[in-house]
């Protein structure tokens, strides 16, 4: 089972009610939403860390 689906089940939410059908394919919108939010949150954390702790490439180029 996919990690976002497992995480939703761990907090006792029924994943079977979080689906829709598109082009004869069953899509779990709950799992997709958790996956997208997880990616956005980590991107924000990465950008904030890059602003706070920038890499100094001049040191790398001198050596």
Q: What's the pLDDT score for residue 37? A: 92
- Of residues 27, 11, 31, the one with CA closest to residue 19: 27
Q: What's the pLDDT score for residue 42? A: 96
* Chain segment 20-63, per-residue pLDDT in tens: 898 999 888 888 888 899 999 999 999 999 999 987 766 666 55
Q: What's the pLDDT score for residue 3? A: 79
Q: What's the pLDDT score for residue 62? A: 59
Contacts of 29 (CB under 8 A, 6+ apart): 18, 19, 20
Q: What single DSSP character describes residue 18?
A: S
Q: What's the pLDDT score for residue 58? A: 65
pTM assigned to the model: 0.63
């Amino acid at each position: 089972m996919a990690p976002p689906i497992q995480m939703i089940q761990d907090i006792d939410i029924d994943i079977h009610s979080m689906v829709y059908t598109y082009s004869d394919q069953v899509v779990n919108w709950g799992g997709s939403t958790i996956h997208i939010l997880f990616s956005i949150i980590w991107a924000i954390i990465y950008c904030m860390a890059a602003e706070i702790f920038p890499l100094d490439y001049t040191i790398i180029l001198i050596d």
